[in-house]
Structure 1
Amino acid sequence: MADISTVETTLTVPDGVELYTKRWKPTGTASSLLVFVHGFSDHCNAYGDLFPTFARKGIEVVSFDQRGWGRTSPSRPDHGQTGPTSLVISDIASVIESVLPSPVPVFLMGHSMGGGEVLTFVDRGPPAILSQIRGFLVEAPFIAFHPSTQPTWIKVAVGRLAGKLLPRFQLTNTIEPTLLSRDPQVQKDYVEDALCHDTGSLEGLAALIERAEDLASGKVSVHEGRGEGGKTRLWVSHGTADGVCDFDGTKKFVERTKLEDLTFKIYEGWYHKLHAEPGKDRETFAEDVTNWILERRDPETTAKPML
């Protein structure tokens, strides 16, 4: 098994905020580069062996703690202060821009909240940056709440109003650990991780819900011609037993997305953190992602749709 190296640093974005970033680098020359966007109440060091596994396969990973989360915002007053969607998009663009130009193909991937952000980025991101991304991947993207966690429309409406009046007001939105993975150790690790603080600002939570609604309604969508070479290559994955982000919401999104290179990978009976499911499952997930990326090192590669 090849050794890897890691590099931690910060990236100063246009408004002066310093984003904590980390790289997982192969020992030899990387064949591809993956920029990864984490989810709600999450941070880039909470993905277990996923990124080291990619690096051992020759895929360099660059990830960061979004503003409001992890080591970017360790102080309680800054927890969940993600800002509006325009700022989220700008931060993702800054991280991608920091690795450009790249001698190897660049891919963009997001999990949960980060998956919804990646899909939104495909629609609203800067064309000059999108045109340098070989492919996009999302894991259990937040397009719709699972029915068991769906807030009432009254709560959403009140939250939006409050978000405009008190944007920085913080609210705890606890994710039930048993819904994240079938692995009890993963559940325990989540509870004990102080950087997974379950705290969002009203402005950030309102933007999160609005992004999901826009994706679910088709107001925001993924079109052909957004990626490198005028092709949008998209890999979507979701577990059917996800109790956090609704599988059916993702399925409906995929069904109305028309791309030449579109893969929808369904994991029967899996929970929310596909990368942290028990036993061999997490290895299967990492292998599926790796294969999809490596198969697209050649810009002319276009796989048949898998729906």
Structure 2
Amino acid sequence: MPFPPGKKEDIQMEGGEWVKASDGIEIYAKTWKSSVQPPLAKVLAIHGLNEHINRSGYNFAFGKLAEAGLEVHGIDMRGFGRSGWLSGDRGYSGGLEVVLKDLGEAIERTYVEGVPLFIFGHSMGGGLAILATHKYLNKYPITGVIISSPALGVPPDQALPWPLTAIAGGLAKVFPRMPAPNKIEGSQLTSVAANAQAYMDDKYVFHQTIMVGTILPVLFAAGNFAEKEYKSWPENLSIFAFIGEKDKVVDPPALKEFMTKLPAHDKKAKFYEGAVHELLHEVDPLPSLVADEVKSWILAHADAKKNGKVLKAESSTIEVVSKEVWSNYKL
């Protein structure tokens, strides 16, 4: 049952704005403006399940990118954050095709000819980043993809037996608004108690049940791409992935397998020892390290694009970053 629609005057905009999707639905959007114009590159950011684009970790990281001359645009997807608060339709995205259409419109708003374009996605948004890139690459010259703790698989102890998976998939098609358990504790996302509590207290993070038509089609499609369709990834499309080695929300081994077999010439995955799901909300200095690595990766690839260079990975695709190393990163 949808919640009553919210009132715009009751919604804290935090630098964002309302944009209209092609079907007239109003969606919350925010842009972190580059410190230079035109920007050195533009980035479309896609948030994860339950959450929204205006959380502190995103503001911190995207602020760093903006200071470095990169411009970031993100939306609260339908059913989430301020978009869900306004519509009252919390937890329901409209389904995978609707989400991909909204993301295509966000890419169109973001893209400027001659400015390198990157797609960033976290968790469920990581799966959507892959799917949106696959769908729109022929229309927009995407330079690179960054996936943070992507939902390419669930930990084995959370996986449903095959018959139940098939049943769940069928229910998602027939009864997309059927509720499913959606209890994610803040302590599963970060080892920082204050950040975990902030997640639980955030009124724009929806802790109610999620609709099966929101999450299952994304999980199935992203998992299918990682397992079968990965061969269609262009060799010249760069990708950077990172994840906490102790992540229990998504499956780190699934990311390792995906990145190992992906045919991209330029690919890199970093696994941070001791960290869990949300690296941008983890213990210092990890958020700064991750934000700086994303910034450096984008800048290097934007420069290569500008100068017609082709980058190839110079070291192992998979890198485990020890806690001793990352905890000594100088801010």
Q: TM-score, normalised by structure 2?
A: 0.83
What residue number does 2:126 align with?
Answer: 115
In structure 2, the residue corresponding to 1:297 is in which secondary structure?
Answer: helix
The letter of the residue matching 1:239 is G
Distance 1:190 1:170 in 2: 21
- Give the equivalent residue in structure 1 for 2:21: 13
Asked whether 1:292 is paired with 2:297, we answer yes
Could you say if the C-alpha distance between residues 193 and 91 of structure 1 is closer, same or farther in structure 2, counting changes exceeding 3 Å? same
Amino acid at match of 1:139: S
1:3 aligned partner: none
What's the counterpart of residue 321 of structure 2? none
Residue identity matched to 2:109? S
Q: Identity over the aligned pairs, expressed in percent?
A: 26
Alignment map for 1:67-216 (pairs within 5 Å): 67-74=78-85, 77-125=88-136, 127-129=138-140, 131=141, 133-198=142-207, 199-216=209-226
**Which residue is equivalent to 1:281?**
286
Provide, for residues 107-128 of structure 1, a one-character-per-residue CA deviation record: whole Å limited to 9, x for no partner.
1100000001111122223511
Q: Tell me the residue number matched to 2:62.
A: 51
The residue matched to 1:182 in structure 2 has which SS? coil
Instruction: Name the stretch that deviates more: 249-258 or 69-78.
Output: 69-78
Residue identity opposite 2:299 in structure 1: L
Alignment-mate amino acid for residue 131 of structure 2: T
Aligned length: 295
- What RMSD over aligned residues (CA atoms) do the two structures have, in Å? 2.1
**Which residue of 30, 34, 37 maps to 1:26?**
34
Secondary structure class of the residue paired with 2:33:
strand
- Matches of 2:28 and 2:40, distance apart in 1: 24
Task: Give CA-to-partner distance per residue, 1:227-264, whole Å, 9 cap, x none.
Answer: xxxx3111111221111111000001111101111112
Which secondary structure does the structure 2 equivalent of 1:214 belong to? helix
CA distances 1:69-113 after superposition (whole Å, capped 9, x unpaired): 011111585112113322221111100101232453221100000
2:271 alignment partner, SS class? strand
Q: 1:118 to 1:152 in 2, by over 3 A?
A: same
**Alignment match, 2:77:** 66
Alignment-derived partner of residue 260 in structure 2 = 255
* Distance in structure 1 (CA, Å) of the matches to 2:87 and 2:29: 20
Structure 1 moving runs of 4+ over 6 Å: none
CA contact (8 A) 1:122 1:222 kept: no
Runs of at least 5 residues in structure 2 that lack an aligned partner in the other structure: 1-13, 318-331
Stretches of structure 1 that go unaligned for 5 or more consecutive residues are 1-5, 226-230
Q: State the secondary structure of the residue aligned to 1:134.
A: strand
**Structure 1 SS opposite 2:64:** helix
TM-score w.r.t. length of structure 1: 0.89
Q: Which residue number in structure 1 is paired with residue 237 of structure 2?
A: 232
